[in-house]
Amino acid sequence: MAARVHQINVNPEGGVPKHRVASTRLLREGVEGDKHRDLRFHGGPARAVCLYSLERLNALAEEGHPARPGSIGENLTIEGLEWGAVRPGMRFEVGEALIEITSETIPCKNIGGSFAGGDFTRVSAKKHPGWSRLYASVLREGLVREGDPVHEVHEA
């Protein structure tokens, strides 16, 4: 299956959960329509977009966690990528935008409601490699719509 944007999530008030929208623009400083409560840890050029895997969310649900798209703070829920193989430095075209993965996220208690027993460390890269959300910078701003393809870009 080709990778695609399963769902786009924003919260104009900040925080989680993030709510589904049909489209938005990925901007160098963040996702249009999304706000962050604490800019020390979220947003800005190196953390403009937060991504997570639909397949990982489904696996979390099978484990008994109430996580669902947008509930753990990701802006883009992506379907069809081999999530454990995505690493910082990889670039992807998403709709009209071009993004570069910059880092794994550090989970915090704000997403605890999406995990059985509040154990948000279930998506910690240190405890569970390949299960973290990922941050990306925006190299080319652009419109992204639900269902848009996600293509890895290899530098020439």
Which CATH number belongs to the domain containing residue 35 in this structure?
2.40.33.20
- Structurally, the chain folds into a number of domains equal to 1
Is residue 154 domain-resident? no
Q: Domain of 31? A: 4-146
pLDDT on residue 14: 87
23, part of any domain: yes
Q: In terms of residues, how long is the chain?
A: 156
Residue 28 has pLDDT above 80, yes or no: yes
Looking at the domain assignment, is residue 86 inside a domain?
yes
- Taken in order 14, 20, 25, 26, is the CA torsion positive or negative? positive
pLDDT digits (tens, 9 = 90+) for 42-87: 667 899 999 999 999 999 999 999 999 999 999 999 999 999 999 9
Got the DSSP string for 76-100?
Answer: EEEESS-GGG--TT-EEEETTEEEE
pLDDT band at 156 (very low <50, low <70, confident <90, very high): low
Identify whether the C-beta of residue 114 lies closer than 8 Å to the C-beta of residue 72: yes
